[in-house]
Amino acid sequence: MSDKCLARVQKLLDDSSITSIQRDEIINQIKIAQAEQGIARISEIDVDRVAQDVSEQLKLQKAINKRNALEDEIKVRNYIDNIINNFDADPDEGLISILVGSNQRVTGARSSAAAHQQAAQNQLIIGFNQKVEEAGLTKLLRNADEMTQLRITRVMEQTSKGLEVTEHNADIIKLGQIMEEYSELVRNKLNARGTNISKLWGYVVRQSHDPFLVRDAVKSLGKSYDEITVSDTIKFTDDINYAKNYTAWRDFVMDKLDYDRTFADVKNIEEFMRYVYNSLVRNQTVKADGAANTYGYKGANLSKDSKMKRVLHFKDGDAWFDYNSKFGVGSLTESFFSGLTNAGRNIGLIDSLGTRPVENFKKIQKGVQDHLIKQGRSIEKIKSESKYEKWLRVLDGSIYTFENFAGARYSASLRSIASMAKLGGAAVSAISDIGLYASEMKHQGRSFLSSMFEAFGALAKIKEKGRAKEIAELNGIIFDNMIYDVSARYQVGDPLSKGFTKAQRVFFKLNLLSWWTNTLKESAMLGTSRHIANQRNLPFDQLSDQMKSLFDVYNINASKWDVIRKNAIEITDDGKEFLNLGLLDNLSDADVVKALGLKKVSQREIDLARDTFKVSLSGMLLDRTTYAVIEPDAKVRGDLTQGLLSGTVLGEAIRFVGQFKAFPLSIIRKTLGRDFAKVSGPNKDVAAGILGLTSTFLVSGMLGYAAMTAKDFLKGKSPRDPARLRTILDSFLQGGGLGIYGDILFQETRSGGDILGNIAGPIPLTGLDLIQAMNYAIQGKPDTAGRTAYNAIRHSIPFANLFYTKAAIDYLIGYQMLESISPGTMNRMQNRMKKQYDQEFIFGNPL
């Protein structure tokens, strides 16, 4: 459309009674209509029709905003009432419970925003996987080459736009249609929760950006920096390479964008593209839409942010695919899963905290403060807004954004290397998981010993098969290593490049931690599902106190339990009963109304309630699974990062110090915190709490000794004397989560001061070792310097410490190297082993 035509239209609108907001929207919609229809002349566009559509959209948005405000207010008041009624003695804990959960034994204590997020994203992924599997297209989805992915993309676009599908392969057509239909389902789920996102093909995948590839755009495009010329108008940084990467990215993407849709309301295109680029490099696409400043649009209203987040509109599917191949998070499949994860986090945040999450939480905080002031009580403990920000940043995803790209990138890479260098024996150390597993099942009302046998039995199986495995997945478990980041078990999580991400996936398969973790999680999910299903003949008031207490912290009351036991129990062919949340998809409207106590509700509210009911139950099962198989949750991640961003000095410092501490802190927060809450919190059960703490402590110590002995055997060493005090203490440390440090903590060449230095984390400690080696060299102690440097280096080589290869490497190479560098090292090591642990090398002197 020519500027003259637009000017005439603008003049007509200015002279009319149409509001300024409507005028801007009409102009934008005229541009979009012209682009979509391929019309060159404005006279061929029905401007009156466009104006009417804009007016209707504005009315719709106004109605949505009004409804959102009402529903948000209801959520806020319900949360305030819950804190007043159930956390009156500790309102600070009540506010924390809303965000990341609490161990307090009161109503709704574990029904947190974090639990809703995890369940919502898992359910989206599982639902999609189920549709693909039912169609028999899983292999095609996972193994499609680049050309096949492009053909699938074209089917998605053609299906969405109602065009003739040009593809002839029936499987590719079906897969493309499934992906597009599921993308529409996700968009509609968000709209049902208060957003107003217009139809857009491939909604789930359309904004796939890898910050590492975007930041290194020159290399990503296969160019050299000498080829890129930066004009004076875009030198917005002192870093010339940064400016060249921006130039390369911008020039590549501009040729593929739909100008009228992308820049419909943009006055300064260059400024807009700079801001988008900076947002991508800082990884801000991972932020949930409830946070402000999403893609340059400042606002906390999800209905606007979810729409505004789709900033870059591509000409067609081919243009998007070309961009995604260069700068996306991965293949079409990986981009789709990444989009589902982000959408699920958004959905979980809306379901729990409403369409204005941060603003609503502040209202809740203020409401509780007002209540305390009326009672003449102090509000000092809950006065600060920043106090809860560390957990809000985990929920909205901003904790994974960058402040300084280079600092965040290289620091994350170092921590990834440390993980692969230090965790070769993690699966052996995880033997102590069995005690924690049994402790959680005991909390649910089951036998401690039988639960231990259940876990061992699951590990003895090669793989769970049949309907039981399907039920575990339908209830929320994700086993796919491409989606589930098992490395997060021992660290707070880092955004990594594709290369390091793939390396970690391979590493955690090779060290068997992926198998171990997935097996026990599946067993825990099925064990809890069976335990709940076995109670199906009992009304709520006849359930055990443990089961009622478990249900209560997830807001499951008698009405909900009646609907669950009537509709969600499946009996498999072998006669076993399981809770199967997949059956809730067919829950009748009457049962939804009954379960949630709804009155005078619309069909939208019923459908939404059915979905959120299933997600909340999945959140309960997933949450209990992370108690049985310990993993850091949003609370631990918030504690270990303190809300500090990657790339900042303090942010990186705290991540280095916190590396590998997520697991032991999770044990303290979850296992010990759960039982301490029985001893000292509301609704006390002191005897159960003491019994739980005692049994966990003793069994973890015994299993810690077993893990330690297994690792010693793999190192070629005899078992330690179990009667020695040092051995007993080490066993409890090993069973309490510190065993992941392996040689870092317990290697024979370390002093007590060195072990205390490990508090700083493996990377700083390795740096300290190298500095110490240089210091020894300066002092004229070459043997000591060489030995110290060699130990520091050999313990920092990824894949070199896999538990089933480490002993062979040490015997064939390592010990000889140590002896040649520092003669007498092996004799000193053997003497120290004998004196401190009464140990010897099983296979004799390694030399």
Secondary structure (DSSP) of 40-98 = --GGGS-HHHHHHHHHHHHHHHHHHHHHHHHHHHHHHHHHHHHHHHHSTT-HHHHHHHH
Tokens of 660: 């590998």
pLDDT for res 733: 79
pLDDT for res 740: 45
Alpha carbons within 13 angstroms on the beta-carbon side of residue 27 total 22
Rg of the chain (C-alpha set)? 29
Alpha carbons within 13 angstroms on the beta-carbon side of residue 705 total 17
Q: Is 824 in contact with 845 (CB distance < 8 Å)?
A: no
CA 812/CA 152 separation, integer angstroms: 51
Query: Do the bridges between strand 569-571 and strand 577-579 make them parallel or antiparallel, or are there none, so unpaired?
Result: antiparallel
- Per run of 10 residues, the mean pLDDT along the chain (length 847 residues) is 53 54 58 54 56 64 80 94 95 97 95 95 94 95 94 96 95 97 93 84 85 93 90 68 92 90 80 88 75 30 40 88 91 90 91 92 96 95 92 90 85 88 86 91 94 93 78 87 55 71 88 91 96 96 94 96 96 92 93 84 89 95 95 92 92 88 88 92 88 88 88 85 84 68 40 49 79 87 84 84 84 83 84 82 73
pLDDT for res 1: 44
Q: Return the C-alpha torsion angle 813, 818, 824, 829, nearest 10.
A: -90
pLDDT for res 300: 35
Task: Return the closest-CA partner of residue 417 out of 773, 767, 815.
Answer: 767
